[in-house]
Amino acid sequence: MALTVVGSMAFDAIETPFGKIDKIVGGSATYIAYSAAHYIQPIHQVSIVGVDFPESELEQLKSRGVNLDGVERKMDKKSFFWSGKYHLDMNSRDTLVTELNVLEDFDPVLPEESLNASYLMLGNLHPGIQKKVISQFTKRPKLIVMDTMNFWMENALPELEETLKLVDVLMINDSEARQLSAQYSLVKAAKSIMEMGPKYLVIKKGEHGALLFHEDKVFFAPALPLEDVFDPTGAGDTFAGGFMGYMAKSDTVNFDKMKNAIIVGSALASFCVEKFGPRKLKEISKEDIQERISHFVQLVNFDIQLTN
């Protein structure tokens, strides 16, 4: 089973209460690929980079089963650059700089192989581009998952609404769910967002875990309480990568599989935040991931006897 990933590949500058880094490789598609590659190969990466993007990073992705035929390199421009600063609580951040650079010209034409994938992950990008990507598939993927953000709700709502009609799963955080639905209750928000198109909705709540909605069902996965959270950048994309990698590997699309996929996504995200950038995702083994998943099982496992 193959997975196609569309999103940004970037340089980030990050400041957290625990440290600062001026230039590290990032981007939604980069995190998604490093995360999903723990479960599935090949991954067909669709993105755009500039002349400055390190060859060594591309080689590392390739060695993990990521096919880069769909990654365009523009020799006359710089890569997308994003800079953010986290508040003390690490749950919120300010975007300091967004330099689109190559992303300004991004108009992906998907290579043939990537169009045969049964699983499609649309990382955070302009919803018009996400829609164009979907329209290139002559055979619809079994599962289309989409990430988005408040910026597009404010600046491209009509396009976002069009794209939402075409996807199976939307992944957003709690404040974005409230913004998109104009509902405070997340249950009501989920209902109204699922009426916009997606049959499943994942609402991420940072250190408070994630919720999965489908029809009248709801599932909750906690986030692992961690001693050290160093840099939350990319945690959402890493979550999406783990979710999608697991779904593609199991090759069954239903609510129960998605419950497991949310746990896998949460486990991978818990590693991501332990170091700057995608560094930790490159270091961990299958055993490390299994061990962390078993921590999740222990975290929510209890035996209760109800008495009158």
Residues forming the site for ligand AMP (CB under 6 A): 8, 10, 12, 26-28, 82, 98, 124-125, 233-237
Separation between Cα atoms, residue 57 and residue 65, nearest integer Å: 13
Q: How far is the CB of 142 from ligand AMP (least distance, A)?
A: 24
Question: In the complex with ligand AMP, which residue's Cβ is closer, 29 or 250?
Answer: 29
Q: How far is the CB of 108 from ligand AMP (least distance, A)?
A: 13
Q: Is 233 in contact with 206 (CB distance < 8 Å)?
A: no
Question: In the complex with ligand AMP, which residue's Cβ is closer, 230 or 250?
Answer: 230
Question: In the complex with ligand AMP, which residue's Cβ is closer, 34 or 119?
Answer: 34
Question: In the complex with ligand AMP, which residue's Cβ is closer, 160 or 250?
Answer: 160
Q: For residue 48, what is the enclosing H or E element?
A: strand 43-50
Residue in 205, 202, 221, 204 with CA at minimum distance from that of residue 213? 202
Q: Is 276 in contact with 19 (CB distance < 8 Å)?
A: yes
Question: In the complex with ligand AMP, which residue's Cβ is closer, 16 or 124?
Answer: 124
Per-residue CA distances from 293 to 193, 248, 249, 265, 267 (Å): 29, 18, 16, 10, 6
Q: How far is the CB of 124 from ligand AMP (least distance, A)?
A: 5
Q: How far is the CB of 10 from ligand AMP (least distance, A)?
A: 4
Q: How far is the CB of 154 from ligand AMP (least distance, A)?
A: 12
Nearest residue to ligand AMP, using CB? Answer: 26
Residue in 22, 33, 37, 29 with CA at minimum distance from that of residue 8? 29
276, 172, 143, 285 alpha-carbon torsion, rounded to 10°: 20
Q: How far is the CB of 215 from ligand AMP (least distance, A)?
A: 27
Separation between Cα atoms, residue 250 and residue 40, nearest integer Å: 10
Question: In the complex with ligand AMP, which residue's Cβ is closer, 188 or 279?
Answer: 279
